Chain A
Amino acid sequence: MKIVVGIKQVPETTNVKINEKTKNIDRRGISGVINQYDRHALEAAFEIKAKTNAEVIVMTMGPDDFVVSLQEALALGADSAVLLSDRAFAGADTLATGYVLSEAIKKIGDVDLVLLGQQSVDADTGQMGPIISEFLDISQVTYASKLDVEEGGLRIKRYLENIEQDITAKLPVLVTVTDQANDPKYVNIVEIAKSFEKEVTTWHASDLNLDADRVGQAGSPSVVRSISSPKEVVKDNYKLPDNPQDAADELVKILKDKNILVEDK
């Protein structure tokens, strides 16, 4: 079985602010890490690999410094790594990113399973999975909470808001993985250093069979018009007395006065 895992490098903390001068997101001093959900996608791949001897290829589209995350994925157990990097990819929205990733998966060829995280914690879209499945013309299962290999395919548990689904999927298929699916392992610096023996392959735009109108900014229907800090909901931050009963009595009185606690609700 051949598995491709798509990972994204994201800022270590999502607690970012807007730089008042540049009006852009201030990422100074924030280093990059593998998107948490993608660790679960990787772990899912490694668990399948342990059972079936699958080949695991990890892939990312992004600037050259995303190579750090690919190295870590190699140290964790991926067999090979592909970096998709080109100036032409800059400014891509979800559609244009999904297009490039799907073309790279086509180039790898004979891929049985594509695993992604349920969403990236910076963009927070979760769109990549369905977009790539569509461009590869394969079936999709999003938000998988449990994955098991079975004869001829996968068995997946998935939860909607009010529904539990049990799905059997034949290969090829694309699955996006939630943080309920497994417990990812971590590696130490030494192992990461050792993984430098494994090479990361870089593909530029010219290495793929791309329609120039569909990549980067030109291929992106969505335009970010502005970014801002969320409107702070001003909260009173009223400190209640230290004695618990005094605190509770005062709170109940305030809530009743303000009609927030009406009797018999």
Chain B
Amino acid sequence: MEFLKENWIFAEVDLNKVNPITYQLITKMNQISELPVTVVLVEGSSESLEEDIKEYGPDKIITIKNDQLVQGNDLEMTNALDTLIEKTGRPNSFVFAATVVGRSLAPRLQARLRTGLTADCLDLHFEDDGTLVQTKPSYGDNIMCEIVVPNHRPQMATVRSNVFEAKKLNNPMTKVINITNLKVVQDKQLTISSKPLPQESAESITEANRIVAIGRGDKTEENLTNAKRLADKLHAVIGVTRPLTDLEEFDINDQIGQSGQSVSPDILINLGISGAVQYTAGISNAKTIVSANTDKDAPIFKHSDYYYVGNAEEFSKALEKALQ
């Protein structure tokens, strides 16, 4: 099987900024890959995000500057990446972020190239012959599978945010290759207009170091006020379980769990949360977990380092006091 002896990463760009998952992927790939690590970056014609990416030390950056492609149409982007791969040859592997963009684009390219793709990986490693071993959860994180793609290239994967740590790396050898003449056929079926979501909190829960999470057992207005005061005291961000997204002030970006966000704070405090698997699927990377619940058998306690059986609001107030 003929293929290009490189491992590729698709740089995810949102709002003219490189998504941190891209840096996490570069650091991980640099650690595990024997072959050169190449980042494929698609950006607007006046941008130069390759400068930011360089700081993480990949071997090569292929930059496609194109104002049509940054609109985010999956079909157009698939065509562009397919054309690029026709020119360069198929890389050994091609990994994407398991974000909405990555999870939409990667499988379309997979089908175009008729190869294998593993979604939502939690770990990756290479074997000596270049085989990419992909660890993926299924059944809502209750089962782990190891998946390989023995006879097709590229071996494709999407990888969850925050499972690897990004580290800057000085690599004076990083080569930047600009592709300017890529032809893009516009998809006339879709008209996409994008706008940034209002950033309510300065920090999003996916990047927060400290989170106070509130559930149905702590959702009265008074509870919320107290939880917010505790969060302020701790310099923490508020997260919620799904039922609380019914409230005006919370949405899917504040929701932790399988259909919300995966979080990886140093400390997570759960107030009035039962611990359904769909919720705990999102907290497996939290380092220290504290939970308060009136039910002494609440499933969340099994996931906790420290737990308090009793009223969440009383606990939250006491904690605020203890932090004085």
Chain A residues close to B by CB (< 8 Å):
11, 14-18, 25, 93-95, 98, 121-131, 133-135, 138-143, 158-170, 173, 178-180, 220-230, 233, 235-240, 242, 244-245, 247-249, 251-252, 254-255, 258, 260-261, 265
Contacts and interface: CB of A to CB of B under 8 A. Distances in A.
Nearest to B253: A161
Interface string B72-106: 11110010000000000000000000011101111
A95 B149 CA distance: 12
A77 B63 CA distance: 49
Contact of A164 (B187, B197, B321): B197
Contacts of A121: 139-140
Contacts of A168: 190-191
B152 A221 contact: yes
B260 to A, nearest CB: 11
B289 A235 contact: yes
Contacts of B234: 261
Contacts of A258: 288
B34 to A, nearest CB: 20
Contact of A221 (B137, B151, B204): B151
Contacts of A135: 111
Given A95-B114, A235-B289, 8 more contacts: A127-B110, A131-B108, A159-B197, A161-B100, A161-B206, A224-B145, A225-B133, A251-B306
B308 A247 contact: yes
Nearest to A93: B116
Contact of B193 (A165, A224, A248, A249): A165
Interface SS of chain B: helix, strand, loop or mixed? mixed
A238 B72 CA distance: 47
A178 B112 CA distance: 25
B275 to A, nearest CB: 12
A131 B310 CA distance: 49
A251 B319 contact: yes
Q: Which 9 A-B pairs have the closest CB atoms?
A: A221-B116, A248-B318, A222-B116, A134-B111, A14-B140, A130-B107, A130-B108, A127-B107, A139-B189
B169 interface: no
Most buried by A among B146, B147, B189: B189
B314 interface: yes
Contacts, number: 259
A228 to B, nearest CB: 5
A83 to B, nearest CB: 23
A265 B147 contact: no
Nearest to A137: B75
A227 B104 contact: no
Nearest to B138: A124
Contacts of B72: 160, 165
B21 to A, nearest CB: 9
A226 B146 CA distance: 5
A8 to B, nearest CB: 13
B235 A236 contact: no
A163 B196 contact: yes
Given A160-B100, A230-B144, A255 B267 contact: yes
B139 A229 contact: no
Nearest to B150: A223
A165 B194 CA distance: 4
B297 to A, nearest CB: 12
B322 A249 contact: yes
A222 B117 contact: yes
Contacts of A98: 111
B223 interface: no
Contacts of B136: 124
Given A126-B107, A130-B108, A143-B100, A227 B143 contact: yes
Interface string B292-323: 00000000011111111111001101110111
Nearest to B114: A95
A14 B141 CA distance: 9
Given A139-B189, A225-B133, A163 B322 contact: no
A16 B322 contact: no
B309 A143 contact: no
B277 interface: yes
Interface in B267-290: 267, 277, 284, 287-290
